[in-house]
Amino acid sequence: MLPREESGESTLRVVDVAVRFGGLTALSGVSLDVAPGEIVGVIGPNGAGKTTLFNVVCGFVRPDAGEISWRGHSLARVRTHRLAGLGIARTLQGVGLFPGLSVLENVMIGAEPRARARFATTLLGLPRSDRDERALRAAALAALGRLDVAEVASRAPGTLPYPVQKRVALARALVAEPALLLLDEPASGLGSADMKGLAEVIAELKGDMAVMLVEHHMDFVTGVCDRVVVLDFGRVIATGSPAEIQADPRVLEAYLGFETSERAAEREIREPEPGRA
């Protein structure tokens, strides 16, 4: 079920998406939506299809069936590098920072497409407007300040602790002031204290943009999200509030390894025993 699908309020809609890699079905009939200002988390055990779903939304993987739309317009033919121009920003599973540039320069690159083109002239030594460059620097410093890492603006990314690099990568996504922020495993590689800080940052974004995050830390997701979608074996097995998800027996089965006859049959379909057709 897709709430709000007829009201026109949804910013992002994924409808009946299927992805197959050879004989493996990675996603099957996956549907979800993200409304303005909403934080939606996608969770599931390893191999559930979370990364595939994220890559479909970002355009890295083309679905075999289904539809993905943004503000009522299909994303089927939109190239990944044009998402920023549509108001969509994303982070990578790691950090994806350019080692040869300073933190400030990395964040400046994340500005909206016109600003990015102007900054490219700076890197190439071409004529540019000093006013444009000052505006880019101010926006980048503001994004870093929002994440409490402005003091590392002149540093090289590789000299920073990993949690700080993650914040820089997030600042690069935020500098374009997106309407939708896509976060790919934002808590990966973080300790409990850094995870708590990140959850506070994401919660503060709610009034400014919609957020869809894909994550394997169930506690992190249920602590920060308004709504949670749970994948298992490439299918949506539960959708609801964090409290509803935590009480759903299907989610407990998926995470704790309880295997019902239905789950065993699904595993057999996806991972047949050696020698069996």
Question: Where are the domain boundaries for CATH 3.40.50.300 in the chain?
Answer: 1-87+178-277
pLDDT, position 119: 54
Instruction: Tell me the pLDDT band of 211, cut-offs 50, 70 and 90.
Output: very high
pLDDT, position 7: 42
Pair type for strands 12-21 and 65-70: antiparallel
How far is CA 43 from each of CA 24, 56, 60, 126, 138, rounded to the nearest angstrom? 20, 16, 20, 45, 36
Pair type for strands 24-34 and 65-70: unpaired
For the whole model, what pTM was predicted? 0.81
Alpha-carbon distance 173 to 13, whole Å? 21
Mean predicted confidence (pLDDT) in 25-35: 95
Pair type for strands 12-21 and 180-184: unpaired
Cα 153 from chain centroid? 24
Residue 4 above 80 pLDDT?
A: no
Q: pLDDT tens across 34-78, in order?
A: 999 999 999 988 889 998 999 999 888 999 999 999 998 888 878
Q: pLDDT tens across 132-144, in order?
A: 778 888 999 999 9
Nearest to 43 by CA among 204, 249, 240: 240
Mean predicted confidence (pLDDT) in 254-267: 56
pLDDT, position 81: 75
Q: How buried is 8 (Cβ within 10 angstroms: 0-12 exposed, 13-18 middle, 19+ buried)?
A: exposed
Alpha-carbon distance 105 to 172, whole Å? 9
273 vs 22, higher pLDDT = 22
Mean predicted confidence (pLDDT) in 245-267: 68
pLDDT, position 2: 37
pLDDT, position 15: 96
15 vs 22, higher pLDDT = 15
Topology, domain 1-87+178-277: Rossmann fold (3.40.50)
Instruction: Tell me the pLDDT band of 277, cut-offs 50, 70 and 90.
Output: very low
Alpha-carbon distance 276 to 12, whole Å? 41
Instruction: Tell me the pLDDT band of 123, cut-offs 50, 70 and 90.
Output: low
158 vs 115, higher pLDDT = 158
pLDDT, position 5: 40
16 vs 77, higher pLDDT = 16
Instruction: Tell me the pLDDT band of 216, cut-offs 50, 70 and 90.
Output: confident
